[in-house]
Amino acid sequence: MGLVRPARRPTGPGRPDVEGATPKWWTEPAVYAEDAILDYPQSGERFRGRPTIAAQRGGHPARRHFTVLRVVGSGDLRVSECVITYDAVPTYSVSIMEFAGPEVVHETQWFADPFAAPEWRAALGESIPAREVAGP
């Protein structure tokens, strides 16, 4: 497994604000295969085809800021861990991306809101070191 090193990417009209390592799907919709699939298992949605995925990515009504924490993988599989801030509210995201050559053919994206640890686990766990997550 390889780790993609962080790099700052400038933003512009129609692009989300991205910090950290920038997966190809954030830079250009063209990285998706023409018949690519994007799945959101939690909502049961499937988006088919590059134009539909580009419209779905570009049509979000919230102000979004992305912090890519890491991208790992090998061969034709990559997994990214991100914090996506929607109108100043952070949500954690994991994306599983399958490639055929240079193009994404299938992506599955999972989302989770932060939550407080229950007291019954307090003696078992420790705090994860703070991660710098930039805001809007």
Residue range(s) defining the domain that contains residue 32: 23-113
pLDDT of residue 35: 97
User: Is 72 a domain residue?
Assistant: yes
Report for 6-15, 17-26, 114-123, 126-135: range of highest mean pLDDT: 114-123
How far is it, in rounded angstroms, from Cα 91 to Cα 76?
Answer: 26
The model carries a pTM of 0.72
User: Is 122 a domain residue?
Assistant: no
Residue 95, domain CATH: 3.10.450.50
User: Is 4 a domain residue?
Assistant: no
Does 48 score more than 50 pLDDT?
A: yes
pLDDT of residue 70: 93
- The answer to whether residues 97 and 33 touch, using CB atoms and an 8 Å cutoff, is no
- The answer to whether residues 57 and 48 touch, using CB atoms and an 8 Å cutoff, is no
Does 17 score more than 80 pLDDT?
A: no
User: Is 5 a domain residue?
Assistant: no
How far is it, in rounded angstroms, from Cα 97 to Cα 30?
Answer: 15
User: Is 40 a domain residue?
Assistant: yes
User: Is 8 a domain residue?
Assistant: no
> pLDDT above 70 covers what percent of the chain?
74
User: Is 87 a domain residue?
Assistant: yes
Residue 100 CA, distance from chain mean position: 19
